[in-house]
Structure 1
Amino acid sequence: MKLLVTLLTSGSLLLSGCLMSREARVESDYSYAGQFRHYRTYEFISGDGINSDSSRLGEAVRDAIRTRMKIQGYRPTRRRPDLLVNFRLFEGDMRFRGYSQDDFTKWVQNGNTEDEDTPKDARKGYQPVRLLLSEGTLLVTLIDNRTNRAVWNGYASGVSVPSGPQGEIVLRRSVRSIFDQYHVFTAGYLQGNNAAEEGN
């Protein structure tokens, strides 16, 4: 009996690994106008599809996003959040327009940003790249609530979601992979300033 349980457990882990190996592509793109050093709070957008899904799959995605946002110092709030979080799961193959850009982490670390005062000859400009994302795509978008413009997209392709608990595992891992592309901590969070602010 113990051998059967071990075999079933090993088979389940192997299946989980196979499902995740289908995530052939995890990428992101960003807006040069994003004020990434100033965002501290967020709220989810309610809408159609999985975004408003109160099932275990929809909640698994929201919970995984909440966990990553908390780790990086962001606080949830319903009152004038800095960022609105939107996510969507697309089935099958999908044509998607991304952008060829400088490394996002370096862009933020250097304190770069563009606005209406940035001279035209100093602007980076966007170089579109057409992508074919296969076998299902989970897309997470962060929107600047003040300007109502998307400032960051993260997406994982090859996300095939089986039914049951295995589907929750696939979605949680996909969210983690996506947020590995978003290396932004809120200002002062790593020095413990957020804890002090919350205590006031």
Structure 2
Amino acid sequence: MKWTSTLLAGGTLLLSGCLLSQEARVESDYSYSGQFRRYRSYEFVRGEGLNSDTSRLGAAVRDAIRTRLKVQGYHLARRRPDLLVNFHLFEGDMRFRGYQQEDFTKWVANGSAEDEDTPREARKGYQPVRLLLSEGTLLVTLIDNRSHRAIWNGYASGVSVPAGPRGEVVLRRSVRSIFDQYHVFTAGYLSGQSPAGLDED
């Protein structure tokens, strides 16, 4: 199954009063073909709107993502990054198709990953789940730059972004909550090793 569609599933979480006192649903899902132990570098996918270089809200989201990934050992790389990071803010209610999966942290800890050599009988199946996301959703997608497939999605729904600096605060806190679902440190980072040869920003 190709991972060009949105991948969603997971648990819930109540964010702070900065989300306008609404209960935000924070969840994630992942591709079984993701090589999560291999990734060390990333770059942002840029475009229009929130993803543009000139958007203040987009800059707040990128800065929050950059800060979180740095804490987990990832480096920003302009050339040949392992991961491409994309994000989008959807307004209003949305219907998404997610997938029922085992805990992501457990999956990564077991060193599991599927590829073309994985026997059909040993492959995990994707169990679709219909989800209703309400009152605005911030979606963050990690894409394997080598295969060009989405390998992880995290999102917070129920996110209302007010105008001005307060909106930036809301988005930064939403990003932190989303990446609480992505418990992956780069190989060797916790033991003090640091990858070399990366073109950092």
TM interval, short-chain normalised: 0.7 to 0.9
CA shift at 1:20, angstroms? 5.6
Q: Any unmatched runs of 5+ in structure 1?
A: 1-15
Within 5 Å, which residues of 2 pair with 1:8-47?
Answer: 17=17, 19=19, 21-47=21-47
Matched residues in 2 for 1:65 and 1:128: separation? 28
TM-score, scaled to structure 1 = 0.88
Sort the Cα spacing of 1:84 and 1:111 in 2 relative to 1 into closer, same or farther, 3 A.
same
| Aligned equivalents of 1:23, 1:179: Cα separation in 2 | 18
Larger radius of gyration: 1
Q: Which residue of 1 aligns with 2:175?
A: 175
Contact 1:23 1:156 in 2 (8 A): no
Q: Do the aligned residues in 1 keep the contact of 2:42 with 2:77 (CA within 8 Å)?
A: yes
Query: Which residue identity is paired with 1:95?
Result: R
For residue 66 of structure 1, what is the amino acid of its counterpart? R
Residue 26 (structure 1) shift? 0.3
Cα-Cα RMSD: 1.6
After superposition, give the CA deviation of every residue in 1:2-27 in whole Å (9 maximum; x if it has no partner). Answer: xxxxxxxxxxxxxx615264243100
**Structure 2 unaligned regions, length at least 5:** 1-15
Q: What residue is the counterpart of 1:102 in the other structure? A: 102
**1-side partners of 2:72 and 2:23: how far apart?**
24
Secondary structure of the 1:114 match is coil
Is 1:158 the equivalent of 2:158?
yes
- Percentage of matched positions with identical amino acids: 80
**Equivalent residue letter for 2:102:** D
Per-residue deviation, 1:97: 1.1
State the match for 2:3 in structure 1.
Answer: none
- Higher helix proportion, which one? 1
* CA separation of 1:126 and 1:20: change in aligned 2, threshold 3 A: farther
1:158, 1:36 → 2: CA distance? 28
Equivalenced residue count is 183
Structure 2 equivalent of residue 133 of structure 1 = 133
Structure 2 Cα separation of the partners of residues 154 and 92 of structure 1: 18
TM-score (norm 2): 0.87
Cα 1:23–1:175, aligned 2, differ >3 Å: closer, same or farther? farther
